[in-house]
Chain A
Amino acid sequence: MTNADQELRRTSLYETHKAAGAKMVPFAGYEMPVQYTGVIDEHNAVREAAGLFDVSHMGEFEARGKEAGAFIHKMVTNNVRRLDVGGVLYAAMCREAGGIVDDLTVYRLEEERYMAVVNAANIEKDWEWMASHHAEDCAFENVSEETGLLALQGPRAEPVLAKLIPGGGDLEAIPYYGARYKDVAGCEVLVSRTGYTGEDGFELYCKSADAPALWDALISEGGSEGLKPCGLGARDTLRTEMKYALYGNDIDESTHPLEAGLGWVVRYKAGDFIGREKLLALKAEGIKRKLVGFEMVDRGIPRHGAPILIEGEEAGEVTSGTMSPSLGKAIGIGYVPAANADVGAALEIDIRGKARRAQIVKTPFYRKS
């Protein structure tokens, strides 16, 4: 066993995954299930019925106190002030120079209590960045270790979850990007109608010690609805079909939200946030490159890092790509010059030294029929 293996962390569901025959791989410093039965099978379960993912590796920070809302508002590009209790929003967190520190969701759990949910690979970096800005009149705590997180996704997610809540939980009253505390299978769970798949569904925050019991209850109640345990492989194909950005692939500190297609979560008028001046300047200058989605015309699967060619010249790079299980086509995401970013524009992708034709298409790639 190498040192790298020894340093890998495990979620409270590790033994559950092993017992279910999951294939485990290193991801963001954690040993996580990449698949159970097969990526395509799990992908289709989420599109057609329901899938259950362990995403407990993600990080959760809580801010409490009078200044908690103002603190989080200053850190992220979206308008935290408009959040009501039980509301959720998606945002980017930027450096002063506009580079993306992370993308995250923000929850207003109580009047003066907020939660930021960050990518596993960025927990330490985000913590340092946020803690270095945090206000006097606000407690700020990293609760990642004690927090478990399951994603229950797919058109049958709601009926599956309802079975585990006394009286059904009135789930239809939870709007998209809304969250409520519920008693699920005897555990206190923050039920959030959010996700990373393009399907209806929930993200379920619980105590990490409760996660295995919650997982088992969902799997045993969900089987008759077609629920399957899913790994990170399917999570990636599902999010790629929606062109949802993956931090470290499509966005990072060298990219800013405007070129990454995240301008819709940048609210300049709502007041000050870190990076606002720079993003306003970038907007005024005009965006130089854009993150676009494309389909392959020739055979081949575009992968992260493959050069994008325009008229034979290298013009950008593929940031994500896969064979899309729902479309049966090879699809990719990458940055191209803004002048060449229109839907229908022809590109070539250099795959193993051979230029292969591709075409920019509308995204999301996948739309529910």
Chain B
Amino acid sequence: MELPSGLKYSREHEWVRVEGNIAVIGITDFAQSELGDVVYVELPEGGTEVEANNTFGVVESVKAVSDLFAPVSGVVVEANTTLEDQPELVNSEPYEDGWMIRVEMKDESELSDLLEADSYRAYVEEESG
């Protein structure tokens, strides 16, 4: 399981890369591996408000539909529309070209609720028993 340090991780298996007041959000290597082949991603349009711990979109594998949960609150400034035609990037490059949305954060203090790579790894290992 690849878990780059320097990213923040949510208990819903999203990651956040902080770039100033922008949060770049995607799903973790663990999440994509659990899902299997991703065949469909539905993301909000630019300008949509998202709220921490609420759903912002959907990711679907061949078999399953999973909600995407926003790790932080704010306004979507960009969604990764490349995923419309190449959803498999979520599997192959979850932390790079498989990113999902860029959010202008409303409250950067929400970041402190997220986990560092080490604690996220421990959380996943405990959860998957």
Q: Cβ of B110 < 8 Å from any Cβ of A?
A: no
Known: A299-B84, A352-B58. Is A236-B63 also a contact (CB below 8 A)? yes
CA distance A300 to B42 in the complex (A): 8
A residues in contact with B60, CB < 8 Å: 301, 323
**CB contact list, A325-351 vs B, under 8 A:** 325, 330
Within 8 A of B (CB), among A23-67: 23, 34-35, 38-41
**Does chain A have a CB within 8 A of B44?**
no
Instruction: Check A39–B42 contact: CB distance below 8 A.
Output: no
Contact between A322 and B62 (Cβ–Cβ < 8 Å)? yes
Check B40 for interface membership: any CB of A closer than 8 A. Answer: yes
Partner among A23, A34, A40, A300 whose Cβ is within 8 Å of the Cβ of B40: A300
Q: Which of B42, B58, B62, B84 contacts A323 (CB 8 A)?
A: B62
Give the residues in chain A near B84, CB-CB below 8 Å: 299
Q: In the complex, what residues of A have CB within 8 A of residue B52's CB? A: none
What residues of chain B lie closer than 8 Å to A325, measured between beta carbons?
62
Residue A237 at the B interface, CB < 8 A?
yes
Q: How many residues of A contact B (CB 8 A)?
A: 19
Of the candidates A301, A303, A352, the one having the most CB atoms from chain B within 10 angstroms of its own CB is: A301
Contact for A237 among B40, B42, B62, CB less than 8 A: B62
Chain A interface, >50% SS class:
mixed
One of A38, A236, A352 near B37 (C-beta < 8 A):
A38
Residue with the highest number of chain B CB atoms closer than 10 Å, among A38, A322, A323: A323
What chain B residues lie within 8 Å of A233 (beta carbons)?
Answer: 36, 62-63
Once bound together, how far apart are the Cα atoms of A39 and B60, in whole Å?
13
Of residues 17 through 68 on chain B, the ones whose CB sits less than 8 Å from some CB of chain A are: 36-37, 39-40, 42, 58, 60-63, 65
Q: Which of B36, B62, B63 has the most CB of A within 10 A?
A: B62
The B72-96 residues at the A interface (CB cut-off 8 A) are: 84
In the assembly, what is the distance between CA of A263 and CA of B61, in Å? Answer: 34
Bound: A39/B84 CA distance, A: 20
Q: Closest CB of chain A to B88's CB: distance in Å?
A: 9
Query: Are A40 and B62 interface neighbours, CB within 8 A?
Result: yes
Q: Given A236-B63, A303-B65, is A39 in contact with B58 using a C-beta cutoff of 8 Å?
A: no
Q: Are B40 and A39 in contact (CB under 8 A)?
A: no
CA distance A40 to B58 in the complex (A): 20
Closest to B55 in A: A352
With a cutoff of 8 Å between Cβ atoms, the chain A residues found around residue B36 in the complex are: 23, 35, 38-39, 233
Whole-angstrom CA separation of A301 from B39 in the bound complex: 9
Hey, which chain B residues are within 8 Å of A301, CB to CB?
Answer: 39-40, 60, 65
Check A299/B63 contact, CB under 8 A, given A35-B36, A38-B36, A39-B36: no
Q: For chain A residues 217-269, which have a beta carbon within 8 Å of chain B?
A: 233, 236-237
Tell me the smallest distance from the CB of B18 to a CB of chain A, in Å.
30
Q: Which residues of B contact A23 (CB under 8 A)?
A: 36
CB B58 to nearest CB in A, in angstroms, measures 7
Contacts of B63 in A (CB 8 A): 34, 39, 233, 236
**A265 smallest CB distance to B (angstroms):** 29
A323 and B65 in contact, given A299-B84, A301-B60, A352-B58 (Cβ under 8 angstroms): no
Contact, CB under 8 Å: B37 / A39: yes
CA distance A352 to B65 in the complex (A): 11
Please name all residues of chain B whose beta carbon is closer than 8 Å to the beta carbon of A34 when the two chains form the complex.
63
State how many angstroms separate the Cβ of B59 from the closest Cβ of chain A.
Answer: 11
Bound together, the chains give a CA A272 to CA B36 distance in angstroms of 48
**Bound-state Cα–Cα, A336 to B58, Å:** 27
Q: Closest residue of chain A to B34, judged by CB?
A: A23
Measured in the bound complex, the distance between the Cα atoms of B8 and A245 in whole Å is 45
Docked pose: A323 CA to B42 CA in angstroms:
14
* Docked pose: A34 CA to B60 CA in angstroms: 16
A303 proximity list for chain B (CB < 8 A): 65
CB nearest to B62 among chain A residues: A39
Question: Given the complex of chains A and B, what is the CA–CA distance between A40 and B92 in angstroms?
Answer: 14
- A interface residues, Cβ below 8 angstroms from B: 23, 34-35, 38-41, 233, 236-237, 299-301, 303, 322-323, 325, 330, 352
Query: Contacts A38-B36, A40-B62 given; 13 further ones with Cβ under 8 A?
Result: A23-B36, A34-B63, A39-B36, A233-B62, A236-B63, A299-B40, A299-B42, A300-B40, A300-B42, A323-B39, A323-B60, A323-B62, A330-B40
CB-defined A-B contacts under 8 Å, sample of 19: A23-B36, A35-B36, A39-B36, A39-B37, A39-B62, A40-B62, A233-B62, A233-B63, A236-B63, A299-B40, A299-B42, A300-B40, A300-B42, A301-B39, A301-B40, A301-B60, A301-B65, A323-B40, A325-B62
User: Which 7 residue pairs are nearest across A and B when measured between Cβ atoms?
Assistant: A323-B39, A39-B62, A40-B37, A38-B37, A301-B40, A233-B63, A39-B37
